[in-house]
Chains A and B, each alone.
Chain A
Amino acid sequence: MSELNRLTIADARKGMAEGKFSSVELTQACVDAMQASTDLGAYITPTPDAALEAAAEADKKRASGDDGALLGIPLGIKDLFCTEGVQTTAASRILQGFKPTYESTVTSNLLRDGAVFMGKLNLDEFAMGSSNTTSYYGNVVNPWQSSDKPDMQLVPGGSSGGSASAVAARLCLGATGTDTGGSIRQPAAFCGITGLKPTYGRCSRWGVVAFASSLDQAGPMARSVEDCGIMLGSMAGYDPMDTTSVDTAVLDYTAELGAGVKGLKIGIPREYRVDGMPEEVEKLWMETADQLRDQGAEIVDISLPHTHSALPAYYIVAPAEASSNLARYDGVRYGYRADAPEGLPEFSSLEEMYATTRGEGFGSEVQRRIMIGAYVLSAGFYDAYYNKARRVRTLIARDFTEAFGQVDAILTPTTPSPAFGITEEPSGVEMYMNDVFTVPASMAGIPGISVPVGLSKDGLPLGVQLLGKPFEEVGLLRVAQAVEHAAGFNATPQLMA
């Protein structure tokens, strides 16, 4: 029964259905893997006992004829999803000890279908970051190591870095992520796994700690395209508690897998060739295009002229919305509250209590973004910054609408580079460039998926991104699986449980 934790969700489902092993055995393998891999820092709050109890319950349900889509499957949950009775921190000091009294819609849906939760996964604080180095609960380590510098710890990407690291290191079979500007796709690429950001509105945001409400979207991270489709089928669905959740039928996202790409048109946007991009990134991108052509797809050069405006517009929209969303953390209703200044019995004003609590409770990246947000929304600047960015967003969305008049899907690199060292981390705006290829789809609300396709010269995973039409995840996953099969990526990380 060894190495059950290395199975895909699809294979684990099959194995349990055929009675080859139980969910308790599968979950125990993941618990052992999780406990042997604490150095990765992937989990903030592991819940092994609750997981084994849930697994035993799943086995009982199976014995009585239940066959939920995720029955007995061990998953990790990004610590941005509220989980009833289990600490939910958003990787921030300000939510330390917060135990929600309700369950997010997405995690409720997963539980409804029988999933087993292994615990809460680390992330960048409030999902703000591209390296998972802004968590109050410590850095997450990428389980991959560079052949050039094997002793150097690498970042897993962010913000869903714990999710990516845990799935890559085989600590769980799949994990939830959230994506605001690339937070599912970029860490998936850095860790050699598959990550899907669905269309905005596909999954309910209710009970997900909010970062930028017009961009945030939950999605699956797993070790195959099929597994992402299985998970999305459970996570997605209309929710009256989220006014932006879209009231459409829940689909079988795996319905068209295996149908191939013959006759499909795949766009290659010329603006995604950026200065300083390593040759190996460009090479894998073009090889993937060639493989799709070999399978009968037509490769079409396209233009998305406002691509390079997406990142600056994002760095107005996202901080502006974050500054509003994070206004609720004031030390009154939940989470951290600062003590009165030393030597004084009380704060001199309620405002001083708020400001001290927030100054001590938020980390530096979060503070920077809140201040930018407050500034661009302040009187006299709102139109010049926030409305300008929203107008640019219309142009970005229009680019995609026009492109999808010509093509069925768009192929790009996911990131301009492989994972970098935790100590080599770029600063400020340079760090933001990590998301240059993922942010445009976020701004337009369209679905995107990162699929691992090869290794860099130093042996680190690289991914390509496929973008699809709104609400056409079924077709997007079909193309993604064709890429997956052609690439045949089967390399595994050095630090694998």
Chain B
Amino acid sequence: MSITRETVEQAARLARLTVAEEDKDRLAGELSAILGFVEQLDAINTDDVDPLTSVVGATARMRKDAVNAGDYPERVLANAPDRVTDFYAVPKVVE
């Protein structure tokens, strides 16, 4: 599988990453190499094999549907790059 510049742009958009124009060809090559490497899996027959969901066979546990933490906005907001009162603030968006 060879990755094109357009595919790089699409993956970057899905991943919300700004990629510089001059890096796109390099990334196309690098991503192609990785996908080329993983494509050897196609040779393995997995027709009757279920996907592994848990390595230790654990099942999801139930817990009480109850509030067990909260009411500490200062702790929650302590690392916010920007805030207004008890809200995260983001730059004004001009559409």
Contact = CB atoms under 8 A, between A and B. Distances in A.
A349 B16 CA distance: 12
Contact of A371 (B31, B33, B63, B82): B31
B81 A393 contact: no
Given A358-B16, A368-B27, A309 B55 contact: no
Contacts of A323: 15
A21 interface: no
Given A101-B78, A315-B34, A349-B95, A370 B17 contact: yes
A387 B81 CA distance: 38
B2 interface: no
B33 A393 contact: no
B67 interface: no
B18 to A, nearest CB: 3
Contacts of B63: 240
B43 to A, nearest CB: 9
Contact of B30 (A332, A348, A385, A428): A428
Of the candidates B44, B60, B63, the one having the most CB atoms from chain A within 10 angstroms of its own CB is B44
Contacts of A1: none
Interface in B1-35: 3, 7-8, 10-12, 14-19, 27, 30-31, 33-35
A315 B50 contact: no
A371 B41 contact: no
A31 interface: no
A350 interface: yes
Interface in A310-339: 312-313, 315-316, 323, 327, 330-337
A392 B41 contact: yes
A127 B68 CA distance: 31
Contacts, number: 175
B12 A371 contact: yes
A359 B17 CA distance: 5
Interface residues of B, number: 52
Contact of A346 (B39, B55, B94): B94
A474 interface: no
A102 to B, nearest CB: 8
Given A243-B60, A371-B17, A346 B79 contact: no
A347 B18 contact: no
Given A99-B79, A199-B56, A201-B56, A375 B90 contact: no
Of the candidates B34, B82, B93, the one having the most CB atoms from chain A within 10 angstroms of its own CB is B34
Interface string A66-100: 00000000000000000000000000000001111
B46 A388 contact: yes
Nearest to A366: B17
B16 A354 contact: yes
A176 B50 CA distance: 34
B34 A337 contact: no
B85 interface: no
Interface string B41-55: 110101001111111
A444 interface: yes
Given A371-B8, A429-B34, A309 B44 contact: yes
B38 A246 contact: no
A348 B93 CA distance: 6
Of the candidates B3, B37, B51, the one having the most CB atoms from chain A within 10 angstroms of its own CB is B51
Given A306-B44, A388-B46, A214 B55 contact: yes
Contacts of A100: 79
Contact of A362 (B17, B52, B80, B82): B17
Contacts of A389: 38, 41
Contacts of B93: 346-350
Contacts of B40: 309, 312
Contacts of B42: 388
B80 A428 contact: no
A362 B51 CA distance: 31
* A-B pairs, 3 with minimum CB distance: A445-B55, A359-B18, A390-B51
Given A316-B38, A359-B17, A390-B52, 10 more contacts: A101-B78, A244-B54, A315-B38, A332-B80, A333-B79, A346-B92, A358-B16, A370-B15, A371-B15, A375-B11
Interface of A: 97-102, 199-201, 214, 240, 243-244, 246-247, 306, 309, 312-313, 315-316, 323, 327, 330-337, 340, 346-356, 358-360, 362, 367-368, 370-375, 378, 385, 387-395, 397, 428-429, 432, 443-446, 470-471
21 contacts: A97-B79, A101-B78, A199-B56, A214-B54, A247-B61, A350-B90, A351-B16, A355-B12, A358-B15, A359-B19, A360-B18, A368-B27, A375-B14, A388-B46, A390-B51, A391-B50, A394-B49, A394-B50, A443-B55, A445-B55, A471-B56
